[in-house]
Structure 1
Amino acid sequence: MVFAHDTEMSLQAAVTLVNTALEPDTLTTVEELDEFFSTHQYSGRHEQTVDELDEVRGLRTVLRELMLAERDDAVELVNTMLADAGAVPRLVRHEGYDWHVHAIAADAALVTRITVETAMAMIDVIRTDEMSRLGVCADDDCDGIVLDLSRNRSRRFCSTTCGNRNAVAAYRARQSDTA
């Protein structure tokens, strides 16, 4: 494991959220936001409204900028995000997870909780000088974010779809070279 469990979960959720903005957009309904909320095991308030959906959708650009920033620029973004949210770190234990850090109240708006949890996760990324674990998909036709948590830093594609498309293209290129 590269990072603590809660850090990895927050990073995976943030990458998934940012990548919902790719075409076709996969975060357009309250139901899709509900699925994101459940899949990424967020706790706390979830209003299930169009306004909440719009707020979370608006966060995608900010998180993308953070995840692709140079290390020193990421520090500035993280500090601003935490200060603007009024984050106060504290240890909590819930739903089968041992002690971990939350920095915003469970009744804060979902967009604020996502912002703070991502910023807190990015603190670990920055402190361990692991910004290279975040990048853009190696598929020429994709701008998705890649989170590489592999031990050998071998992840290049944002999804199985992009990886498979490139594998098939490479296979076809090899076949045409041998023909």
Structure 2
Amino acid sequence: MHINPYGEDAVLLAIDLLRHPPATAAELEARCRAADLMIEQPVTAADLDATRDFLRTWLGVVDAPDFTTRADRLNALLAGSSAHPRLTNHAGDGWHVHYRGSDLPLGWLLRALISVGTALHLAGRGMHRLGRCAEPTCAAPFADVSRTGRQRYCSTTCANRDAVRRHRARTTAA
């Protein structure tokens, strides 16, 4: 089975922007460029605001109580952010598929990229592959890109912290 990295990369970018929100438009631009996103328009404070607003809405997909609700919420995002798939060689580095119009401001580009990427991630890997950290004091969002699909924590740090907490609870009770 082929796993589409387009979905994984977009979802991981969304998680990164949520967990470490950029403070300025310049920081948003730098983070997107570091993720190999081609930016065709100047990045403005409006892009930063649009990205923040979208990511708050996107968290509704992460927090959906069941897969049908998750799909419905994601379908609403897709309807408002994507265009018909099209082939493009806009960067001159090879033909590829875009699910968005051309020359979009960064805020709208991220909306389309993350919505379509999330759909590809969930359809290709499983509807359960988004969640919140199981460590009781954390609750950070995560995207499960593990081989097994059983991720429960946002990081190794939280997994270790919870393991230590459970161990101490067992040894104290004994």
TM-score, normalised to structure 2, is 0.78
Query: How many residues are paired up?
Result: 173
Structure 1 match to 2:153: 157
Q: How does 1:120-139 map to 2 (within 5 A)?
A: 120-128=116-124, 130-139=126-135
Q: Does 1:71 align with 2:101?
A: no
Q: Which amino acid counterpart does residue 62 of structure 1 have in structure 2?
A: T
Aligned 8 A contact 1:139 1:162 in 2: yes
Q: Give unpaired runs (5+ residues) of structure 2.
A: none
Q: Which amino acid counterpart does residue 54 of structure 1 have in structure 2?
A: D
Structure 1 match to 2:32: 37
Q: Which moved more, 1:150-159 or 1:164-173?
A: 164-173
What SS class does the counterpart of residue 131 from structure 2 fall into? strand
Q: Which amino acid counterpart does residue 6 of structure 1 have in structure 2?
A: Y
C-alpha offsets along residues 43-70 of structure 1, whole Å, 9 cap, x if unaligned? 1335332222122111121111123323
**CA 1:131–1:19: 2 relative to 1, 3 Å:** farther
Rounded to whole Å, the distance in 2 between the matches of 1:32 and 1:160 is 26
The sequence identity of aligned pairs, in percent, is 29
RMSD between aligned residues: 3.0
TM-score, normalised to structure 1, is 0.77
Q: Which amino acid counterpart does residue 48 of structure 1 have in structure 2?
A: V
Q: Give unpaired runs (5+ residues) of structure 1.
A: 21-25
C-alpha offsets along residues 79-118 of structure 1, whole Å, 9 cap, x if unaligned? 3333323512113457797654311134112121111112
